[in-house]
Amino acid sequence: MNNDVSLVSPLAPARFPSLPAIAGLEAAIGRAGFYKHERPDLLLMRAPPETQAAGVFTTNAVGSAPTDWCKRALAESKGRARGLLVNAGCANAFTGADGDAACKRSLEAAATRLGLTPDEMMAASTGVIGVVLDDSKIARALPAMETGPVDWLTAAQAIGTTDTFPKGAGAACEIGGTKINIAGIAKGSGMIAPDMATMLAFVFTDAALSAAALDTMLREECETSFNSITVDGDRSTNDCVLLFATGASKMPSIADAKDDRLSGFRASLSQVLADLAIQIVRDGEGATKLVTVSVSGAASHASAKKIARTICESPLVKTAIAGEDANWGRIVAAVGRADEPIVRKQLSVRFGDLWAAKNGAVAPDYNEAAMSAYMKRPELEIAVIVGPGEGRARMFTCDLTKRYIEINGDYRS
Amino acid sequence: MNNDVSLVSPLAPARFPSLPAIAGLEAAIGRAGFYKHERPDLLLMRAPPETQAAGVFTTNAVGSAPTDWCKRALAESKGRARGLLVNAGCANAFTGADGDAACKRSLEAAATRLGLTPDEMMAASTGVIGVVLDDSKIARALPAMETGPVDWLTAAQAIGTTDTFPKGAGAACEIGGTKINIAGIAKGSGMIAPDMATMLAFVFTDAALSAAALDTMLREECETSFNSITVDGDRSTNDCVLLFATGASKMPSIADAKDDRLSGFRASLSQVLADLAIQIVRDGEGATKLVTVSVSGAASHASAKKIARTICESPLVKTAIAGEDANWGRIVAAVGRADEPIVRKQLSVRFGDLWAAKNGAVAPDYNEAAMSAYMKRPELEIAVIVGPGEGRARMFTCDLTKRYIEINGDYRS
């Protein structure tokens, strides 16, 4: 976490939200010393005995020791996980067998501290890659880490890296008449200096849900939240979203994600994940604009998403937005190079309520002055119609500014 | 063409090369006035009657009127093309039927000026998109354009946009004992402000070759030249490479690209195309480093190329190079997210002769001081081994600097 107020993203929310309590959930923060400056860099959490968990992990083929651990542990335990150890400052990625061993030792120590077994532990690391985790630093920090009721703000701060503000989101809903809480924290701000680690999110609920139901819902909801954001297109080795359901609400457990009683919960979970995901974009490295790109009329959802992603990751589109230039031609060009079926004569582009292009040419009522005024807003909505199809998708991104180059290019200077 | 010497790319060649003559080829430059400032923006060329031609065009689905024209004309004439009209300042892309009509009228006027028919004409436009070509400006400029022997330097200058130096390359070789010349010019510097147009190249030879042979050779040689460069990943609507063979050398015509007598010609053509392609990267917007990325050990050439491209287009890799930071972790992460098969335990990264990563972890002899010294060079070679496969590919790119953001974001200010 960067604590220099002058460096806080101009898109940051006014304050950290008030998150609902998840009964029985405990946390402690600590300092292992992965950073030279004074800051917490460890988060330890313990959930009640009945907790079920699910995770979605990076598809980066290089991966990392902690994501490898979580995937294996969740598969072997069939979603029983009660402990979580997160460190910032070292990603423990691309570290081979030494990295795996260090991850395992750190989880053994954390499990002992929590009165759990290592196979009940989840791990997440974020920071420099290619450096083996120095688990002795974690072992030395653990004795001072006394878990208690969760302070979400300090937990969110402990897992941040180049983040300029802590990220949290929560919701309350009902399942079959029982009041249910959801609370989550995340970190992410592009890929971080000097490297990756990118995005982590941990979401907790007191609902009683099977690991299978959690897994299905998490995967589906990630599609429109964490899998619909892009700051720079650089998917990291350590990305990880974990969802824990403690069952503390005492509702009768639900095993099937398709259960009708879950409709309200699904909506709330969706909202929490989207909220966290968009907060990550708001903290995109160097970001001054939050941009929502909606593509409709595509051949399929996947096709719409690929087009949206091509727009969102175009350096030319992103620099034009940084320059407050309604350069719709660059959007059209990005659509054209997405290698997806489009109908050129129907291609239309709208900024907010203002049409820039309509049916394959500049809009007849194109108004440069109105467009320029719109582009000065901190939050922009770009809608693109690419044909007569039913496929639609929405992605979130930010602009590309000189500050991004500074953060990522001048790191060692 | 930008004529401010202080803005010339630091990677520019010392001088424009001396190019060989192509007998019977003529050119004229002119000013239609697509730019407010005084500069030539039109190039008109006429080749001898026996000329055969081939083209490779952008695969951007939005395309442009001139690329649509060339594709159709080449198909209908089976590669007979003698005339070329190029304008800078207006891409005539995303302009619908009006743009097509304007393109046709401009070619009719140019054909009349050259004593040719419109179906013998090729067209290329570069500049702003979404604006219909004002062909009346071209019609007014044509009478003053008297063709004569080709002055390659002024021709290259006339087709430039944000280019900071004119680009040309030539070679001499033999086919079956006959001396053959090749000469070409190109333009390109990322996508240009306010938009696209990107890359054009026109290559001429006095060899006698069938259009089919030209087409085969051009397609194959583009793969390792123009299709192996990336400045910002933003493929334009107007990209176009045209190859003309005049037959003026009086060699017996060769119809088959596989003819053994063409080996020397192929090598020279390859060299000319690669030279032009790399000059475009040297003029990449804001570039301070020319970077060659070689990937080997992949499952196939296509797989190696996708990995190389992912590295070359990673904003994090490019900003690290701008910052002279040997941030090999970002290269490893880019390899991991290319979604191609790799063997993590064999993944190795070399900068010049210096190993950064070897067999899935940091190199045992990693030397930070030597690495930092290497990164200060203007031309860098990055070699990546991703497994035991036979697939290999090489791509060329440049770094991503604040100047890129300035060029592309501050255009309207």
Beta bridge partners of B307: none
| Tokens found for residue B276 | 């032009």
ipTM of this predicted structure: 0.72
CA A291/CA A380 separation, integer angstroms: 5
> CA–CA separation, A198 vs A281, rounded Å?
11
Distance CA A332, CA B276 (A): 27
DSSP alpha helix (H) spans, B90-248 = 96-114, 135-141, 152-158, 211-224
Alpha-carbon gap, residue B92 to B105, rounded angstroms? 13
Q: Work out whether strand A240-245 and strand A52-57 pair parallel, antiparallel, or are unpaired.
A: antiparallel
Measured between beta carbons, the chain B residues lying within 8 angstroms of A130 are 328-329, 332, 357, 361-362
Please tell me the distance in Å from A295's CA to the nearest CA on chain B. 16
Are the beta carbons of B333 and A413 separated by less than 8 Å? Answer: no
Going from the C-alpha of A63 to that of each of A58, A133, A206, A325, B349, the distances in angstroms are 7, 14, 30, 38, 17
Order of all β-strands in the sheet with A361-362 = A229-230, A391-398, A290-298, A379-385, A348-351, A354-358, A361-362
Q: Is A409 within 8 Å of B191 when comparing Cβ atoms?
A: no
In sequence order, what are the residues at sequence separation of 6 or more whose Cβ sits closer than 8 angstroms to the Cβ of residue B353?
none
**Chain B CB contacts of A191 below 8 Å:** 316, 330, 333
A85 Cα to chain B: minimum distance (Å) = 23
A55-99 pLDDT, tens digit each: 988 777 777 899 999 999 999 999 999 999 999 999 898 888 999
SS3 A301: helix
Confidence of residue A180 (pLDDT cuts 50, 70, 90): very high
User: How many angstroms separate the CA atoms of A56 and A70, rounded?
Assistant: 10
What's the pTM? Answer: 0.79
H or E element in which residue A394 lies: strand A391-398
Distances in whole angstroms, Cα of residue A405 to Cα of each of A401, B50, B88, B181, B400: 7, 52, 31, 44, 8
Q: Is the pLDDT of residue A187 over 80?
A: yes
Show residues of chain B in contact with A60, CB under 8 Å: 333, 336-337
Please identify which of the residues A51, A198, A246, A292 carries the catalytic annotation.
Answer: A198
| CATH numbers and ranges of domains, chain A | 5-282 (3.60.70.12), 290-409 (3.10.20.340)
Size of interface A-B (CB pairs under 8 A): 225
Residue spans of beta strands (DSSP E) within A277-346: 290-298
Q: What pLDDT is stored for residue A410 in this prediction?
A: 58
pLDDT band at B376 (very low <50, low <70, confident <90, very high): very high
B29: its two tokens: 């430059």
The answer to whether the Cβ–Cβ distance between B319 and A408 falls below 8 Å is: yes
Q: Which residues contact A199 (CB under 8 A, 6 or more apart)?
A: A186, A187, A188, A226, A236, A239, A240, A241, A280
Q: How far is A158 from chain B (nearest CA, A)?
A: 23
Take residue A343 and report the two structure tokens written for it: 């109908």
Kindly state the tokens that stand for B350. 């070399």
Residue B162: pLDDT band (50, 70, 90) is confident
Closest Cα in chain A to B407: A319
Per-residue confidence band for B158, with pLDDT thresholds at 50, 70 and 90: very high
Q: d(Cα A405, Cα A198) in Å, to the nearest integer?
A: 17
pLDDT tens string A252-295: 999 898 899 998 898 899 889 888 888 888 888 888 999 999 99
Contacts of A361 in chain B (CB under 8 A): 94-96, 98, 130
Comparing alpha-carbon positions, the chain B residue that sits nearest to A408 is B319
pLDDT tens, position by position, A223-245: 877 777 776 666 556 678 889 89
**Interchain pair B336, A63: CB under 8 A:** yes
Which B positions 184-213 lie with beta carbon below 8 A of chain A? 191, 194-196
d(CA B407, CA A283): 24
Which residue in chain A has the smallest CA separation from B368?
Answer: A412
Q: Are A327 and B235 within 8 A, CB to CB?
A: no
Percent of chain B with pLDDT strictly greater than 90: 55
Catalytic residue status for A59: no
Shortest distance between the Cα of B410 and any Cα of chain A, in A, equals 5
